Structure 1
Amino acid sequence: MRNYRLQRLSNQPILQTSDVKPTFSGFDVLGAFNPAACIFNNEILLLLRVAEAPKAEKGTILVPLIEDQNGVPTLTIKRFPEPDEPYDPRVITLQGKVYLTSLSHLRLARSRDGIHFTIDEKPFLFPARMDESFGIEDARITYLEGKYWITYTAVSENGPGVGLAVTTDFETVERVGMILPPPNKDVALFPQKINGKYTLLHRPMVSDIGKPSVWLANSIDGIHWGNHQFLFGGRGNPGLDRTNNPFSWEGGKIGTGPEPILTDEGWLVCYHGADETHAYALALALLDKDDPSIVLDRSETPLLTPELSWEKEGFFPNVVFSNGWIKWPDDSDKAGQIWVYYGAADSGVGLAELVWE
């Protein structure tokens, strides 16, 4: 694999939480981050994850979620007394049930130069089914067979699964439904059929045995998926001292980023790894062009780690996480450049260029 580097194009976020208007009166935007990315009609489109919550009330936990009201999924707000003991500001257990304290949706942002964006005021995809009752998160976009396939994490009290939506114009969208049940996430669809079949990468969750790892699956229709195969997992051991554990940066968690890009060496895959402190970093893997179940190479060290203040401090600190990149077309002044959009500390969006020697 070539000697790749991720080179920041800005030392400031290109999008911040404060740039996004809340969907509802009485709500605050807590984060705008982890965008999918594509090129459409000579524009760069980002599909941001936007997390919103009701404005805080002293002594009360407000939980936004979708509930079934007479057969209609409806946005509601549950109220609970604030616990006396410290609690996670994102996920909380109340009266024996686990809740998210914010509700995420997907919001479009548009740009001609890939740096300065105009953000839509309303959601592109908002939770609309009970298997999305806790929100929809972290989309990926793949252009395939004349359509833009959008995979995303659909979260409910039953866990995170993988939803699929399809659009041709980013105005109307067809919600296909859940294609991988909980617990699963981080799905990236390959941009062409391989050996006559649709192919994707996914990240099943694990419990007592094993660690999170990247898997491969294929399909004859893009909806029903099978032939699941383990592809690669984190090489670090969270229990070892870092000095004796060079892969500790991916020892705690691992997952796929954006859709793979085909190069003359094979399929280039961006993925994230997290250590035992939940600090996230970005790395690359290379898969065989004709048989992506063959891993040809992987990064020995991360290409991007949280270093700047806005990558280290935020709603969830010490995170760089990418699920969106674009390759500039040959007829542009940036022909062939690969730009990587990444979420930073669950609070904003950074931009880096993938360069190589």
Structure 2
Amino acid sequence: MKNYQLRRLSDQPILQTSDVKPAIDGFEVLGAFNPAACWFDGEILLLLRVAEAPRAEKGTILVPLLEDQNGVPVLTIKRFTEPDEDYDPRVVTIDGKQYLTSLSHLRLARSQDGIHFEIDIKPFLFPARMDESYGIEDARITFLEGKYWITYTAVSEHGPAVGLAVTTDFVTVERLGIILPPPNKDVALFPEKINGTYWLMHRPMVSDIGKPSIWLAESTDGVHWGKHRFLFGGRGLTDPAFAWEGGKIGGGPEPILTDEGWLLCYHGADATHAYSLALALLDKSDPTRVLDRSKAPLLSPELSWEREGFFPNVVFSNGWVMWPDESAQAGKIWVYYGAADSGVGLAELVQA
């Protein structure tokens, strides 16, 4: 993958947490990051992950989540006494049960130049089911067969699962439910059928044996998935030169079809949880065949706003856009990336 580079188009974030107003009364926005992206009706659309939390109360841990009340999911706030010992302010364990201290949803942002965005006040997708009770995170958008297929991480007390929704106009949206059970995430559909079937990449989460890796699956209807198979994992386990992807690995946005094959953006994390971006190339007619991979990361956290934030030392992309021929930036590929879980950066994928 020596012929590709990721070049930052700005040394400042194009969106940051302070640009987003809370959707819930009494809440504050903790982060706006990790956007899905697509071209729609003459504009670039982003689906931002917006993490909100109740305004802090001294000595109290506040947990926003959906609870089942007579068969209806209702947004509630649970209150717990703050422990005396140190604890992770993002994920807390109370009486043996884990909770998130923020609730994420997906928010639309629109731009004609791809740089200056207007952010909707209301959420586009807000947690509405008990399998989304802890939030909706990190979407991907694939335009396929006249519809925009949106995959996202649906988090509940049972872990992270993969939800699917579809829209044709980004006004109305239809949830199709959970397509992969927990624990799983980082799912993106391929933008066309291959050999008559739908394909997606996903990242099962492992426990005692194995490390996170990227897998493929097939479907005849885009909803029910099977033929799961391993695609690739991090090389840092056996080669210290690849330590940058030795801790975690996962797929990014939807693959792009090029003359050489399917171009895939993915993230790797090292042992310190610093995230970088890289590329892989898959065979056109058999995406289980990996033709090439980056020998080094194309983008790593270097700027202050990529290194400092809600979750430091992260560049993470789940959205890129190839500008259409009729646009001013025809043929260019712009990569939108979350930075330190606190803002959004922009880079261009170029061939050296």
Q: How far apart in 2 are the matches of 1:307 and 1:121? A: 31
Q: How far apart in 1 are the matches of 2:30 and 2:145? A: 36
Gaps of 5+ in 1: none
Pairing 1:43–2:43 present? yes
SS of the equivalent of 1:89 reads coil
Q: How far apart in 2 are the matches of 1:64 and 1:280? A: 27
SS of the equivalent of 1:349 reads strand
Q: Which amino acid aligns with 1:168?
A: T
Tell me the residue number matched to 1:190: 190
Pairing 1:267–2:262 present? yes
Q: TM-score, normalization: structure 1?
A: 0.98
SS of the equivalent of 2:319 reads strand
SS of the equivalent of 1:45 reads strand
Deviates more, 1:330-339 or 1:201-210: 330-339
Pairing 1:344–2:350 present? no
Deviates more, 1:126-135 or 1:78-87: 78-87
Change (3 A) 1:215 1:339: same
SS of the equivalent of 1:87 reads coil
Tell me the residue number matched to 2:146: 146
Q: How does 1:102-113 map to 2 (within 5 A)?
A: 102-113=102-113
Q: Which amino acid aligns with 1:315?
A: F
Q: Which amino acid aligns with 1:212?
A: P
2:246 to 243, 251, 261: 251
SS of the equivalent of 1:125 reads coil
Moved over 6 A (4+): none
Q: Which amino acid aligns with 2:126?
A: F
Q: How far apart in 2 are the matches of 1:182 and 1:286? A: 28
Tell me the residue number matched to 1:212: 212
Q: How far apart in 1 are the matches of 2:329 and 2:117? A: 18
Q: TM-score, normalization: structure 2?
A: 0.99
Q: Which amino acid aligns with 2:346?
A: L
Offset from partner CA, 1:116-141 (integer Å, 9 cap, x none): 00000010000000000000000000
Offset from partner CA, 1:35-77 (integer Å, 9 cap, x none): 0000000000000000000000001000000000111100000
SS of the equivalent of 1:216 reads strand
SS of the equivalent of 2:244 reads helix
* RMSD over equivalenced CA pairs, Å: 0.8
Tell me the residue number matched to 1:329: 324
Shift of 1:96: 1.2
Shift of 1:157: 0.4
Q: How does 1:84-163 map to 2 (within 5 A)?
A: 84-163=84-163
Q: Which amino acid aligns with 1:89?
A: P
Deviates more, 1:85-94 or 1:131-140: 85-94
Shift of 1:25: 1.4
Shift of 1:94: 1.2
Tell me the residue number matched to 1:72: 72
SS of the equivalent of 2:227 reads strand
Q: How far apart in 1 are the matches of 2:83 and 2:136? A: 27
Q: How does 1:51-70 map to 2 (within 5 A)?
A: 51-70=51-70
SS of the equivalent of 2:177 reads strand
Q: How far apart in 2 are the matches of 1:88 and 1:276? A: 18
Q: How far apart in 2 are the matches of 1:323 and 1:90? A: 22
Pairing 1:233–2:228 present? no
Q: How far apart in 2 are the matches of 1:78 and 1:317? A: 27
Q: How far apart in 2 are the matches of 1:87 and 1:107? A: 29
Shift of 1:333: 2.0
Q: How far apart in 2 are the matches of 1:212 and 1:229? A: 13
Pairing 1:312–2:303 present? no
The share of aligned pairs that are identical, in percent, is: 82
